[in-house]
Copies of this chain bind each other. A is one copy, B any other.
Amino acid sequence: MTKTNSKLRVIPLGGLNEIGKNMTLIEYKNEMVVIDCGLSFPEDEMLGIDIVIPDITYLLKNKDKIKGIFITHGHEDHIGALPYVLKKLNVPVYGTRLSLGLIEVKLKEHKLNNTKLITVNAGDKFKLDNMEVEFIRTNHSIPDACSIAIHTDIGTIFHTGDFKIDYTPIDEDIMDFHRIAEIGKKGVLLMLADSTNVERSGSTMSERTVGDTLDDIFMNADGRIIVATFASNIHRVQQIINSADKYNRKVAVSGRSMVNVVNVATELGYLNMPEGMLIELNEIKDYKPEEIVIITTGSQGEPMSALSRMAASEHKKMEIIPGDLVVISAHPIPGNEKTVSRVINQLFEKGADVIYDDLAEVHVSGHACKEELKLMHRLVRPKYFIPVHGEFRHLKQHAELAVSLGMPEENVFTISSGTVVEFDKNSAKIAGTVPSGRILVDGLGVGDVGNIVLRDRKHLSEDGLMVVVVTISKEDGKVLAGPDIISRGFVYVRESEDLIEKARIVVKEALIECENRQIREWAYLKNTIKDELKNYLYEKTKRNPMILPIIMEV
């Protein structure tokens, strides 16, 4: 046994100083346990990128030690990177039934069928050689969410996962306060806890409060009701169904992920749809407006989502009509405010009425606010603490919250992804870093788009490009054809013929100058063309298109 093996190492591989891409590695002796495997959505400057996944270099190096990936819940930022990671790392995946149901859909889409999926019930414990992994019921904005405790002979690590405290959850699966208290009583070495809502004082309201608002809305509506929400928020969907049932409306479902989730959740028994209530979207015409509810995706104004397509009259199966009531049962995620607002405007313009977060209590968060976090800290009362799941502002404020509850500052590790924290029974310290970062997925390419490609995309997006082609004689360096100029995304060519023609002359003069000076070095020639053209265009337009000079030798 090597020296490091006697220490317990905790390494967040994602989710710290960023939103999403949650993944944490626990390493002890000859074993590794991975908690969650999430994706994040691209930042604005990651042009053309589809999704972002964690760097798993360190996991690949330690393939044989990994005992499994343990999933706290079925949100994209906790399971979304699985298909990419499992292609390189075939290890078992542990999760509750709903999490695995959603993961299976994903793996099927990626044609992955040799993953060992192990179904977990909250309360289950999995014994490894030197660790025991325990799942503990918690509440979140998706059913069947768990915290995870890892017991070792050095001490217990408690990872809250994403959570809120809901004293009246829809499925009556109440957070296992007693088990958490028991673990806390025995003593916890380290807690890692969700920091998303640490800036909010008080407590997040129960999901049940949204049901009351929905009931009010349904009671007063006399046209069709269209409710947009997160597909994975099955409790929200259940409450919409409950209100529909109460007010005798049929339910149709729109949007690929909503259809997927409703199917999986109904099949697995997480969603209780009364017999005969569900109809197809193209059957809605057979009913009166006041007999219809449509549950749809698009609560974030995502341009391709069902609600956005309805709002823009681009939905194939239905259109918004005056008298429709649209409820956006969600809060815009930072960065989505403008797309959501655009959809609201379009819906209003079509004569629909729209109810959203600013106007009524149609959404509650899935994350714990300050007072809930304090309860978790008090129950678990860990010796050490690592705030996770948040930007630096959140982690820092969560650290301050822990200190305000009496934890010594030196016991809080406000670290970033990739940092290794090493524990023994009596001490903890930062012990270096492992590779971590953002792997960009663009189409089929995983990691083939890096900073250079993104820098070029940004340049192209701002000022377009100008291609200059010239064919030159191998023998005497004379210009045989061109210079031809093609531009895209720079100016509207038909109205700028003069500018383009003058640009051609600038290039021509540069070529003649080089010819006269008998310069045959193409690199030099290209740079001369580039510089002259760049200066000319900037002077005339104050823009800097990308210039691509191409020399063909014949």
* B48 and A461 within 8 A (CB): yes
Closest 4 CB pairs of A and B: A443-B542, A461-B461, A48-B462, A460-B460
In the complex, chain B residues whose CB is within 8 Å of the CB of A469: 469, 550, 552
Q: List 18 A-B contacts (CB under 8 A).
A: A48-B461, A48-B489, A335-B338, A341-B391, A345-B391, A345-B393, A349-B392, A453-B491, A456-B489, A457-B489, A458-B461, A459-B489, A460-B460, A471-B471, A481-B552, A486-B548, A486-B550, A550-B550
* B335 and A199 within 8 A (CB): no
* A452 and B492 within 8 A (CB): yes
Task: State the number of copies, please.
Answer: 2
User: What's the Cα separation between A14 and B334 when bound, in Å?
Assistant: 28
* A456 and B553 within 8 A (CB): no
A282 an interface residue at 8 Å Cβ cutoff? no
In the complex, chain B residues whose CB is within 8 Å of the CB of A393: 341, 344-345, 348, 354
User: What's the Cα separation between A337 and B546 when bound, in Å?
Assistant: 30
User: What's the Cα separation between A127 and B491 when bound, in Å?
Assistant: 45
Q: Which residue of B lies closest to A454 (CB)?
A: B489
Q: Which residue of B lies closest to A545 (CB)?
A: B48
User: What's the Cα separation between A457 and B348 when bound, in Å?
Assistant: 30
A358 an interface residue at 8 Å Cβ cutoff? yes
A444 an interface residue at 8 Å Cβ cutoff? yes
In the complex, chain B residues whose CB is within 8 Å of the CB of A542: 443-445
In the complex, chain B residues whose CB is within 8 Å of the CB of A486: 548, 550
A176 an interface residue at 8 Å Cβ cutoff? no
* A496 and B448 within 8 A (CB): yes
Out of B443, B458, B541, name the residue touching A443 (CB < 8 Å).
Answer: B541
Q: Which residue of B lies closest to A543 (CB)?
A: B443
Out of B349, B358, B464, B548, name the residue touching A460 (CB < 8 Å).
Answer: B464
* A453 and B552 within 8 A (CB): no
Out of B392, B453, B543, name the residue touching A464 (CB < 8 Å).
Answer: B453
Restricting to A444-477, which residues have a CB under 8 Å from any CB of B?
444-445, 448-450, 452-454, 456-465, 467, 469, 471
